[in-house]
Copies of this chain bind each other. A is one copy, B any other.
Amino acid sequence: MAEQKFITFLSDFGLADDFVGTCRGVIKKISPEVQIIDITHGVARHDILQGAVILANAVPYMPESVILAVVDPGVGGERKSLAIRTVSGQYLVGPDNGLLSLAADVLGGPEAAVELACSTYSLPEVCKTFEGRDLFSPAAAHLARGVDMEKLGASVPVAGLTKLELPEPAIAGPEVTATTIYVDSFGNVQLHLSREQLEHVGAAVGSMLEVSHGEENWKVPFVRSFSDVAPEEIMVYEDSYHKISFAVNQGDAAGVFQIAPGNQMTFRAIG
Protein backbone atom coordinates (compact mmCIF):
# COMPACT_ATOMS: atom_id res chain seq x y z
CA MET A 1 0.00 0.00 0.00
CA ALA A 2 0.99 3.65 -0.34
CA GLU A 3 2.26 5.63 2.62
CA GLN A 4 -0.25 7.68 4.54
CA LYS A 5 0.51 11.17 5.80
CA PHE A 6 -2.02 11.00 8.65
CA ILE A 7 -3.19 8.85 11.53
CA THR A 8 -6.52 9.95 13.01
CA PHE A 9 -6.91 8.88 16.63
CA LEU A 10 -9.97 8.49 18.91
CA SER A 11 -10.13 6.88 22.36
CA ASP A 12 -11.72 6.94 25.80
CA PHE A 13 -8.32 7.38 27.48
CA GLY A 14 -8.87 10.99 28.53
CA LEU A 15 -5.94 13.38 28.78
CA ALA A 16 -5.28 13.25 32.53
CA ASP A 17 -2.91 10.29 32.31
CA ASP A 18 -0.07 9.59 29.88
CA PHE A 19 -2.00 6.93 27.93
CA VAL A 20 -2.58 9.06 24.83
CA GLY A 21 0.90 10.55 25.06
CA THR A 22 2.50 7.14 25.30
CA CYS A 23 0.60 5.94 22.20
CA ARG A 24 1.80 9.05 20.38
CA GLY A 25 5.37 8.19 21.36
CA VAL A 26 5.03 4.61 20.13
CA ILE A 27 3.65 5.82 16.79
CA LYS A 28 6.36 8.43 16.30
CA LYS A 29 9.13 5.95 17.11
CA ILE A 30 7.92 3.77 14.22
CA SER A 31 6.76 6.45 11.80
CA PRO A 32 8.41 9.76 12.74
CA GLU A 33 6.90 11.82 9.95
CA VAL A 34 3.27 10.73 10.18
CA GLN A 35 0.95 13.47 11.45
CA ILE A 36 -1.40 12.44 14.26
CA ILE A 37 -4.81 14.15 14.27
CA ASP A 38 -6.59 13.66 17.59
CA ILE A 39 -10.32 13.36 16.87
CA THR A 40 -11.06 13.20 20.58
CA HIS A 41 -9.98 11.23 23.64
CA GLY A 42 -13.04 12.30 25.60
CA VAL A 43 -15.35 9.40 24.73
CA ALA A 44 -17.12 8.29 27.92
CA ARG A 45 -15.17 5.40 29.41
CA HIS A 46 -16.07 2.08 27.81
CA ASP A 47 -18.93 3.63 25.80
CA ILE A 48 -18.55 1.79 22.50
CA LEU A 49 -21.71 3.27 20.96
CA GLN A 50 -20.66 6.84 21.72
CA GLY A 51 -17.19 6.21 20.28
CA ALA A 52 -18.63 4.62 17.15
CA VAL A 53 -21.08 7.50 16.57
CA ILE A 54 -18.42 10.19 17.05
CA LEU A 55 -15.99 8.36 14.76
CA ALA A 56 -18.55 7.95 11.99
CA ASN A 57 -19.58 11.61 12.35
CA ALA A 58 -15.99 12.84 12.11
CA VAL A 59 -14.46 10.61 9.44
CA PRO A 60 -15.96 12.46 6.43
CA TYR A 61 -14.13 15.62 7.56
CA MET A 62 -10.74 13.96 7.91
CA PRO A 63 -8.05 13.72 5.25
CA GLU A 64 -7.26 10.21 4.02
CA SER A 65 -5.68 8.48 7.00
CA VAL A 66 -5.15 5.35 8.99
CA ILE A 67 -7.92 5.49 11.60
CA LEU A 68 -6.89 4.33 15.09
CA ALA A 69 -9.75 3.94 17.59
CA VAL A 70 -9.64 2.40 21.07
CA VAL A 71 -12.66 2.06 23.36
CA ASP A 72 -12.11 -1.38 24.72
CA PRO A 73 -13.85 -2.71 27.85
CA GLY A 74 -12.90 -6.23 26.78
CA VAL A 75 -9.15 -5.65 26.58
CA GLY A 76 -7.23 -8.83 27.27
CA GLY A 77 -10.27 -11.01 26.59
CA GLU A 78 -11.63 -12.96 23.66
CA ARG A 79 -12.57 -10.12 21.33
CA LYS A 80 -10.24 -9.88 18.33
CA SER A 81 -7.77 -7.06 17.69
CA LEU A 82 -8.33 -5.85 14.14
CA ALA A 83 -7.03 -4.02 11.16
CA ILE A 84 -9.68 -3.46 8.48
CA ARG A 85 -9.32 -2.26 4.89
CA THR A 86 -12.45 -0.57 3.58
CA VAL A 87 -13.85 -0.61 0.05
CA SER A 88 -12.62 3.00 -0.27
CA GLY A 89 -9.07 1.82 0.50
CA GLN A 90 -8.68 3.30 3.98
CA TYR A 91 -7.56 1.42 7.08
CA LEU A 92 -9.11 1.18 10.54
CA VAL A 93 -7.35 -0.29 13.56
CA GLY A 94 -8.98 -1.19 16.88
CA PRO A 95 -10.92 -3.82 18.83
CA ASP A 96 -13.60 -6.01 17.22
CA ASN A 97 -16.46 -4.80 19.39
CA GLY A 98 -18.43 -2.66 16.92
CA LEU A 99 -16.46 0.55 17.58
CA LEU A 100 -15.12 0.62 14.02
CA SER A 101 -18.27 -0.60 12.29
CA LEU A 102 -20.19 2.65 11.70
CA ALA A 103 -17.09 4.45 10.38
CA ALA A 104 -16.24 1.47 8.17
CA ASP A 105 -19.73 1.74 6.65
CA VAL A 106 -19.19 5.45 5.96
CA LEU A 107 -16.07 4.41 4.03
CA GLY A 108 -17.90 1.86 1.86
CA GLY A 109 -17.85 -1.08 4.27
CA PRO A 110 -15.05 -3.51 5.13
CA GLU A 111 -13.28 -5.20 2.22
CA ALA A 112 -10.74 -7.28 4.15
CA ALA A 113 -9.55 -7.66 7.74
CA VAL A 114 -6.78 -9.27 9.75
CA GLU A 115 -6.51 -10.27 13.39
CA LEU A 116 -3.49 -8.43 14.79
CA ALA A 117 -0.87 -10.77 16.19
CA CYS A 118 2.23 -10.31 18.28
CA SER A 119 4.88 -9.92 15.62
CA THR A 120 7.63 -7.66 14.41
CA TYR A 121 4.80 -5.16 13.85
CA SER A 122 3.77 -4.98 17.51
CA LEU A 123 5.84 -3.93 20.50
CA PRO A 124 8.14 -6.80 21.52
CA GLU A 125 6.07 -7.57 24.58
CA VAL A 126 2.29 -7.15 24.33
CA CYS A 127 0.73 -6.38 27.69
CA LYS A 128 -2.80 -7.69 28.08
CA THR A 129 -4.00 -4.48 29.77
CA PHE A 130 -2.83 -1.88 27.24
CA GLU A 131 -3.19 -3.15 23.70
CA GLY A 132 -3.76 0.46 22.58
CA ARG A 133 -0.07 1.04 23.17
CA ASP A 134 1.38 -2.37 22.39
CA LEU A 135 -0.67 -3.64 19.46
CA PHE A 136 -2.99 -1.02 17.95
CA SER A 137 -0.61 1.98 17.87
CA PRO A 138 2.25 0.01 16.28
CA ALA A 139 -0.15 -1.51 13.73
CA ALA A 140 -1.45 1.93 12.73
CA ALA A 141 2.09 3.31 12.52
CA HIS A 142 3.28 0.44 10.31
CA LEU A 143 0.22 0.74 8.03
CA ALA A 144 0.94 4.47 7.72
CA ARG A 145 4.48 3.81 6.52
CA GLY A 146 3.16 1.45 3.86
CA VAL A 147 3.41 -2.05 5.36
CA ASP A 148 0.89 -4.47 3.79
CA MET A 149 -2.02 -5.18 6.11
CA GLU A 150 -1.68 -8.88 5.46
CA LYS A 151 1.70 -8.85 7.26
CA LEU A 152 0.08 -7.78 10.54
CA GLY A 153 -1.84 -11.01 11.17
CA ALA A 154 -4.04 -13.74 9.77
CA SER A 155 -6.99 -12.86 7.55
CA VAL A 156 -10.46 -12.97 9.11
CA PRO A 157 -13.73 -12.97 7.13
CA VAL A 158 -15.37 -9.53 7.09
CA ALA A 159 -18.81 -11.12 7.40
CA GLY A 160 -17.90 -12.12 10.96
CA LEU A 161 -16.91 -8.65 12.20
CA THR A 162 -18.96 -7.23 15.07
CA LYS A 163 -21.45 -4.59 13.91
CA LEU A 164 -23.45 -2.04 15.88
CA GLU A 165 -27.07 -1.83 14.85
CA LEU A 166 -28.73 1.51 15.54
CA PRO A 167 -32.51 1.19 16.06
CA GLU A 168 -34.31 2.72 13.07
CA PRO A 169 -36.94 5.42 13.69
CA ALA A 170 -40.52 4.10 13.96
CA ILE A 171 -43.15 6.08 12.04
CA ALA A 172 -46.70 5.70 13.34
CA GLY A 173 -49.20 7.89 11.49
CA PRO A 174 -48.44 11.53 12.28
CA GLU A 175 -45.52 10.87 14.63
CA VAL A 176 -42.07 9.36 14.62
CA THR A 177 -40.20 7.81 17.54
CA ALA A 178 -36.40 7.82 17.40
CA THR A 179 -33.47 6.88 19.63
CA THR A 180 -31.04 9.34 21.17
CA ILE A 181 -27.50 8.35 20.22
CA TYR A 182 -25.21 11.07 21.51
CA VAL A 183 -25.14 13.87 24.05
CA ASP A 184 -22.36 16.38 23.46
CA SER A 185 -20.57 18.25 26.24
CA PHE A 186 -22.94 21.21 25.82
CA GLY A 187 -25.93 18.95 26.53
CA ASN A 188 -27.26 18.91 22.97
CA VAL A 189 -29.05 15.62 22.22
CA GLN A 190 -28.47 13.94 18.85
CA LEU A 191 -31.05 11.46 17.54
CA HIS A 192 -30.73 8.66 15.02
CA LEU A 193 -33.22 10.53 12.84
CA SER A 194 -32.69 12.40 9.59
CA ARG A 195 -34.42 15.57 8.46
CA GLU A 196 -36.07 13.60 5.65
CA GLN A 197 -37.55 11.16 8.18
CA LEU A 198 -38.87 14.00 10.32
CA GLU A 199 -40.33 15.74 7.28
CA HIS A 200 -42.06 12.47 6.42
CA VAL A 201 -44.50 13.04 9.31
CA GLY A 202 -45.25 16.56 8.12
CA ALA A 203 -42.65 18.65 9.95
CA ALA A 204 -40.79 21.47 8.21
CA VAL A 205 -38.25 24.04 9.32
CA GLY A 206 -40.29 26.92 10.71
CA SER A 207 -43.14 24.74 12.01
CA MET A 208 -43.91 23.66 15.59
CA LEU A 209 -43.44 20.15 16.96
CA GLU A 210 -44.79 18.33 19.95
CA VAL A 211 -41.86 16.43 21.43
CA SER A 212 -42.18 13.85 24.17
CA HIS A 213 -39.64 12.03 26.32
CA GLY A 214 -40.92 9.73 29.07
CA GLU A 215 -43.66 11.57 30.97
CA GLU A 216 -42.67 14.98 29.70
CA ASN A 217 -43.66 16.76 26.54
CA TRP A 218 -43.05 20.16 25.06
CA LYS A 219 -44.12 22.36 22.17
CA VAL A 220 -40.88 23.14 20.36
CA PRO A 221 -40.01 25.11 17.20
CA PHE A 222 -38.16 23.25 14.44
CA VAL A 223 -35.50 25.83 13.54
CA ARG A 224 -32.39 26.28 11.48
CA SER A 225 -29.93 27.41 14.16
CA PHE A 226 -29.47 28.48 17.78
CA SER A 227 -29.91 32.15 17.05
CA ASP A 228 -33.47 31.47 15.84
CA VAL A 229 -34.69 31.15 19.45
CA ALA A 230 -34.06 33.20 22.60
CA PRO A 231 -31.45 32.05 25.13
CA GLU A 232 -32.78 29.27 27.41
CA GLU A 233 -35.45 28.25 24.87
CA ILE A 234 -35.93 24.68 23.67
CA MET A 235 -35.38 23.94 19.98
CA VAL A 236 -35.23 21.09 17.45
CA TYR A 237 -32.84 21.41 14.50
CA GLU A 238 -30.83 19.45 11.96
CA ASP A 239 -27.36 19.44 13.47
CA SER A 240 -24.07 19.84 11.69
CA TYR A 241 -23.76 16.06 11.19
CA HIS A 242 -27.17 15.88 9.45
CA LYS A 243 -28.96 14.40 12.44
CA ILE A 244 -32.06 15.82 14.12
CA SER A 245 -31.11 17.20 17.55
CA PHE A 246 -32.88 18.56 20.61
CA ALA A 247 -31.28 21.45 22.49
CA VAL A 248 -31.68 24.44 24.74
CA ASN A 249 -30.10 27.58 23.26
CA GLN A 250 -27.11 28.41 25.50
CA GLY A 251 -28.38 25.77 27.95
CA ASP A 252 -27.94 22.08 28.80
CA ALA A 253 -30.93 20.15 27.45
CA ALA A 254 -29.70 16.69 28.44
CA GLY A 255 -28.90 17.80 31.99
CA VAL A 256 -32.11 19.75 32.60
CA PHE A 257 -34.43 17.11 31.15
CA GLN A 258 -32.43 14.01 32.14
CA ILE A 259 -31.99 12.67 28.63
CA ALA A 260 -29.29 10.09 27.95
CA PRO A 261 -28.11 8.10 24.92
CA GLY A 262 -30.42 5.16 24.22
CA ASN A 263 -33.58 7.02 25.23
CA GLN A 264 -36.69 7.23 23.02
CA MET A 265 -38.14 10.57 21.91
CA THR A 266 -41.33 11.10 19.88
CA PHE A 267 -41.91 13.98 17.44
CA ARG A 268 -45.29 15.08 16.05
CA ALA A 269 -45.86 17.98 13.66
CA ILE A 270 -48.44 20.42 15.02
CA GLY A 271 -48.20 23.10 12.30
Contact = CB atoms under 8 A, between A and B. Distances in A.
A150 B246 CA distance: 38
Interface in A154-170: none
Contact of A186 (B41, B45, B58, B227): B45
Interface string A1-24: 000011010100011111111101
Interface stretch (A32-40, A83-91, A172-180, A261-269): A32-40
B24 A227 contact: no
B22 A58 contact: yes
A228 B74 CA distance: 10
A120 interface: no
A8 B37 contact: no
A21 B40 contact: yes
Given A39-B18, A185-B17, A225 B128 contact: yes
Given A24-B37, A25-B8, A42 B17 contact: yes
Interface stretch (A108-116, A129-137, A196-204, A213-221): A129-137
A32 B18 contact: no
A194 interface: no
A21 B45 contact: no
Interface in A247-264: 250
Contact of A63 (B29, B41, B77): B29
Interface string A63-84: 1000000000111111000000
Contacts of A20: 38, 40
Contacts of A46: 250
Given A15-B42, A21-B37, A28-B37, 18 more contacts: A14-B185, A16-B42, A18-B54, A19-B184, A22-B62, A25-B37, A25-B58, A28-B62, A29-B63, A32-B35, A45-B186, A73-B250, A76-B227, A77-B227, A127-B240, A128-B224, A129-B240, A130-B239
